[in-house]
Structure 1
Amino acid sequence: MTTTQSTGEISGNVLFYKSPEPLNREQHAKLALVHKEKPYAFAAAGTAVPLTVSEFGPAALTFPVIFAGDDRVPLAVMGLNNAENLFIGADGSVEPNVYIPAYIRRYPFVLANDDGQDRLIVCIDRGSELLSEQGQTPLFDAKGEPTEYTQQCIKFCDDFELERRRTDSFIALLKELDLFELKKATFQPQDETGAAAGEPVTVAEYYGVSEEKLNKLSAEKLKELQENGALAQIYAHLVSLLGWDRLVNKTMMRQVEAETAAAAAANLN
């Protein structure tokens, strides 16, 4: 159950949210959404962003889908360097045809735990530049009720929570089948002729599904994974790992552009 009226404390740190607080009709009566043509500046430093299992397919077309930590949290890898997103600019712009994870699209709304009453409550990031008393789309109407926009945002958060729970079940299944293994993404430096130069460089270490373990599953278990939809998501994850090369190339291009700009600036001086 979720609620928009609470004075309880919320717990947990949430990526991108500076000052999350429970949505309240008295405190936030005058708040409204600020319409921006490029609204995603808050995610420009998001190197890895949480995904739900239903997003593996579309996300795999853009970036690697990996699993991290003891909980094997699914993440969309959107950059290689700390606090760098190769697909979202500092001005909030997004590279064309890039999938934007639901985790980003739900911002500045989020569901959080209410420690006092053991429930989920609707929160907003009060520090978000997308919310202001000078905004265009009010969060509450004149009667103090959530506007249609706010109701849609709450439903999106509720749907996201359902998908998150489905994702937890998916991860639990993969753990039960012992399908995870530690993987490495590597980059092979090349000389001017395209020949290998030096030893491969490790770009990242992460958890992924072992194809060897997957192939050793019984026909009965594979059929079960196929019927419950898990097999398709596993293959989407495996295909997504081809995206490491794209990230490496984009990182190198950005570095060259930065060096060129720095050299040009130095020549001007």
Structure 2
Amino acid sequence: MQTTQLPTDAALSGNVLFYSKPEPLSVEAHGKLGVNALDNPYAFVGQTNMVPLTVTEFAPAALNYPVVFLGDARAPVAIMGLNQNTNLFVEANGAYRADAYLPAFVRRYPFVFATQEDQGRMVLCIDREAPMVSEGGETALFADGKPTPFTENAMKFCTDFEQERRRTESFVKLLQEHDLLTVREFNYTPRNADGSAGQPQKVAEFYGVSEEKLNALSADTFKTLRDNGALGQIYAHLMSLQNWDRLIVAAMDRAQRELPAANA
């Protein structure tokens, strides 16, 4: 896995992760649309092995995923699979693992805020090609020409998400100001048939907090990070790196489950 630049929500071009056809929401264009409740609605997450996180999600996400930083922006993400197009937490039928934390980036779908470049303002959009969106859907987006409570709640969720996204950018900037981020690797050592250690394999390269640099901070800086809550998020990130081993186990388990189907 190479360090890559993640897409952002900064355009209406359709290149936002998960969104095929985001359109500015309006009663004129979407007055007849509604959202249907699907039993297993997360198939759209199954084709990616990473999902962006906000900083306040580090602690719950760290229970399941490695939380790492990627790209020039050092964007924090939850790693959900070892291969680019494989998510080990989503089944083929769209079911998400019940014991796993579901990031806000996923929960806001099919809605998203995007920048309307000609006016420089944020507008609420909906993915017109989302599988849960249809004309006459069971939960209407508009009623009597006005947004329904469902749509208003979606707008509030996206507004809160945007605030958390900006807070996350400030957190990453703080890490960079103290030069805490460095290139890190996860290596896996398989076992040979006789039980001996095999040749180590490099599984991933990413940006992570350097524990050596963290421990070298001055007492005053360390206290500041503790008091503003950043230290707790840093430790959540560091603890989450133990989950690389869990991903290896999950990948092996899925391979074993899929083997009988491949041989059938």
Query: TM-score, length-normalised on structure 2?
Result: 0.93
Q: Partner residue of 1:261?
A: 261
1:18 and 1:125 in contact (8 A); partners too: yes
Matched, 1:55 2:57: yes
Post-superposition shift, 1:94? 1.2
Letter in 1 for 2:218: S
Rounded to whole Å, the distance in 1 between the matches of 2:60 and 2:195 is: 32
Post-superposition shift, 1:183? 0.6
Deviates most, 32-41 or 68-77 = 32-41
Letter in 1 for 2:159: D
Query: TM-score, length-normalised on structure 1?
Result: 0.92
Letter in 2 for 1:215: N
Q: Partner residue of 1:220?
A: 220
1:11 and 1:112 in contact (8 A); partners too: no
Unaligned 5+ residue runs, structure 2? 1-10
Rounded to whole Å, the distance in 1 between the matches of 2:77 and 2:117 is: 27
Q: For residue 233 of structure 1, give the secondary structure of its aligned residue in structure 2.
A: helix
Q: Partner residue of 1:239?
A: 239
Q: Partner residue of 1:5?
A: none
Rounded to whole Å, the distance in 1 between the matches of 2:190 and 2:67 is: 24
Letter in 1 for 2:58: F
Post-superposition shift, 1:252? 1.6
2:14 and 2:22 in contact (8 A); partners too: no
- Number of residues of Structure 1 aligned to a counterpart in Structure 2: 254
Unaligned 5+ residue runs, structure 1? 1-8
Q: For residue 222 of structure 1, give the secondary structure of its aligned residue in structure 2.
A: helix
Q: Partner residue of 1:173?
A: 174
Rounded to whole Å, the distance in 2 between the matches of 1:192 and 1:148 is: 60
Deviates most, 248-257 or 107-116 = 248-257
1:79-118 equivalent positions in 2, closer than 5 A: 79-118=81-120
Rounded to whole Å, the distance in 2 between the matches of 1:90 and 1:156 is: 28
Rounded to whole Å, the distance in 2 between the matches of 1:65 and 1:10 is: 28
Q: Partner residue of 1:183?
A: 184
1:11 and 1:114 in contact (8 A); partners too: no
Rounded to whole Å, the distance in 2 between the matches of 1:207 and 1:123 is: 31
Rounded to whole Å, the distance in 1 between the matches of 2:191 and 2:181 is: 31
Post-superposition shift, 1:258? 2.4
1:39-78 equivalent positions in 2, closer than 5 A: 39-78=41-80
CA deviation vs aligned residue, 1:104-133 (integer Å, no higher than 9, x gap):
000000000101100100000001111001
State the percentage of identical aligned residues. 52
